[in-house]
Amino acid sequence: MNRFEGRKVLVTGAGSGIGQATVARILEEGGIVAAADVNEAGLEVTKARAEEAGTAGRLSVTTVDISSEDSVRESIGGVIDNLGGLQVLINAAGILRSSHTADTTLDFWNTVIGVNLTGTFLVTRQALPALLDSGKGVVVNFSSTSAHFAHPYMAAYAASKGGIRSFTHAIALEYAKQGLRAVAVEPGSIASGMTSNPGFPTEGVDPSLIGKLYPWIGDGFAPPEDVAGVIAMLASDDGKFVTGTEIRIDGGTHM
């Protein structure tokens, strides 16, 4: 399939996990991809994998701190200028932090909200003019199953992902008549750097509460590539009638 041939795509969080897998999938399908992440070493791995696959000629990488307005303006603005436009934005960047809510500091809360929710807003705002100019722009945001279901010790994370879900609905309607589609994916039970070390508190954790967060199908947590395939569908013309909604990808964890 070459569903992205000639299309210019920006993927944040591209240095690991689902973002990295999404870059590989869209390159495989012919896309011109700009990969952005705060982690330079991770971006080098993304680039090396593209070189091995023979797709590196359509890949560029850039470092960005999505929680910083100045960094987004400079880095993401520069990426879009270099690409000469943008048709697809995939906001995969995010962090997972855990704590007892009663012990959560304001700095902890603001860090999670700042990266996940504010970062998604800043990158989307920077990209919107180019996406709208394309006449058929697509935004794929990363919400989470925690936006709908109780995930203990993740109050800040859940709040940030719930905000992303609502933000996605709002821009989907606001810009629908200008050809923009906005969709949220809600991954759960996916194997990645984020989920392999969620940083649960070392004391006072009830294992029975965490035990409910496992899928009913498959052999445990799914690889990031399983989410990348869904993203590719949503961002391509195969998803042209999908907007203002969310797709849960969790192996039945929350049936």
| Catalytic positions, written as ranges | 157
DSSP one-letter string for the chain: --TTTT-EEEEESTTSHHHHHHHHHHHHTT-EEEEEES-HHHHHHHHHHHHHHT-GGGEEEEE--TT-HHHIIIIIHHHHHHHTS-SEEEE---------GGG--HHHHHHHHIIIIIHHHHHHHHHHHHHHHHSS-EEEEE--GGGTS--TT-HHHHHHHHHHHHHHHHHHHHTGGGT-EEEEEEE-SB-SHHHH-----SSS--HHHHTT-S-SSSSSSBPHHHHHHHHHHHHSGGGTT--SEEEEESTTTT-
CA distance 187 to 220: 14
Residue 120 sits at φ, ψ, to 5 deg, of -60, -45
Largest CA distance in the chain: 52
Q: Are 42 and 23 in contact (CB under 8 A)?
A: no
